[in-house]
Each structure stands twice: as structure tokens, then as C-alpha cells.
């Protein structure tokens, strides 16, 4: 049984990152959790640098750590139609709902979407993965009528 601390240090090392205290803090926040975590670097920065936190982590450190985790395959990047880069701790193949009103992502099980027709891959390329992001917004017709 490997402790969570060792698992975190291994994730950092496999991403070619020295396990500094700040990087370990970032990794623990991202990976020591039950549910999938979707985030932007800005949102992560806000969470990690809350006023009551004694240790401040620079935005550059957060950005570089997230970027290295993505490169090493520990995080998945999701591009949404608001041109913001979201990251996902669930690296298995799956789809998303993107809520335009709240800017939040929600997982959709991979088997719930079937693509009937696919284009040919560009010359010399092959398909690696298929991810669908469905944008949703609040249904304005169902808001309560206040008289």
C-alpha cells in the first residue's frame, strides 16, 4: 500500500517536476479527492491563495505545474466555447456539458454519446480520442413569473 504522499510525489516526478513543497500542495489539492475536479488555472489560483492560507503560491508555479501534469497525462485539457482552458482530473475518455451561465463543466459518461458519422482524419494522422462538449444554458421560459 503506497501512501497518498508517495503517490503525489510519484505524479510530480513522472511529470519531470521536483517535488517542492508548493508543487506537492498543488498536486494534493488536485488529486486527493473522490470526485472529478474541473478547473481553470485562475480558479485554482484563487482557491490555493485564499487569504487564510499562510503559504502563497505564485501564479507562474501553478501554471507551470498544471502544464507539466497535462503534458505527463495526469490532467486533461478541455476547450470550451468561451475560449477558456479548463483542466480535468478525470483522464479517461468522457464527454462534458458546459454550462454557459455558470461556466461549469459536468461529466457525461462516454457511452451516453454515439457519433454516427466521422470525417476522415487528415493525411498522415489517426484518431486519438473523441470528446464532445455540449453547451447548455438555463431555460429562460421556465423562470417564475413575479407579479
pLDDT tens, residue order, the chain (147 aa): 568 888 899 999 999 999 999 999 999 999 999 899 999 999 999 999 998 877 899 999 999 999 999 999 999 999 887 788 999 999 998 999 999 999 999 999 999 999 999 999 999 999 988 889 999 998 877 656 666
- The whole-model pTM stands at 0.82
- Whole-number Cα distances in Å, 147 to 12, 46, 140, 144: 57, 40, 17, 10
Instruction: Give the number of other CB atoms < 10 A from CB of residue 50.
Output: 7
> What distance, in Å, lies between the first and last C-alpha atoms of the chain?
62
pLDDT at residue 1, as a whole number: 52
Q: Which strands make up the sheet holding 38-39, listed edge to edge?
A: 38-39, 85-88, 76-79
Q: Please tell me what DSSP assigns to residue 146.
A: P
- Whole-number Cα distances in Å, 102 to 6, 44, 97, 127: 36, 16, 11, 32
pLDDT at residue 82, as a whole number: 76
pLDDT at residue 78, as a whole number: 92
By three-state DSSP, how is residue 99 classified? strand
Amino acid at each position: 500500500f503506497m501512501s497518498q504522499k508517495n503517490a503525489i510525489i510519484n505524479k510530480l516526478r513522472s511529470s519531470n517536476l521536483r517535488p517542492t513543497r508548493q508543487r506537492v500542495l498543488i498536486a494534493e489539492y488536485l488529486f486527493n479527492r473522490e470526485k472529478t475536479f474541473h478547473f481553470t488555472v485562475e480558479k485554482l489560483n484563487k482557491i490555493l491563495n485564499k487569504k487564510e492560507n499562510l503559504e502563497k503560491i505564485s501564479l507562474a508555479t501553478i501554471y507551470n505545474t498544471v502544464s507539466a501534469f497535462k503534458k505527463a497525462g495526469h490532467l486533461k485539457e478541455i476547450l470550451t466555447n468561451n475560449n477558456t482552458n479548463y483542466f480535468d482530473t478525470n483522464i479517461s475518455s468522457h464527454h462534458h456539458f458546459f454550462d454557459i451561465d455558470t461556466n461549469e463543466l459536468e461529466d457525461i459518461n462516454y457511452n451516453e454519446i454515439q457519433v454516427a458519422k466521422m470525417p476522415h482524419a487528415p493525411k498522415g494522422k489517426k484518431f486519438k480520442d473523441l470528446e464532445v462538449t455540449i453547451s447548455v444554458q438555463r431555460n429562460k421560459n421556465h423562470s417564475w413569473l413575479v407579479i
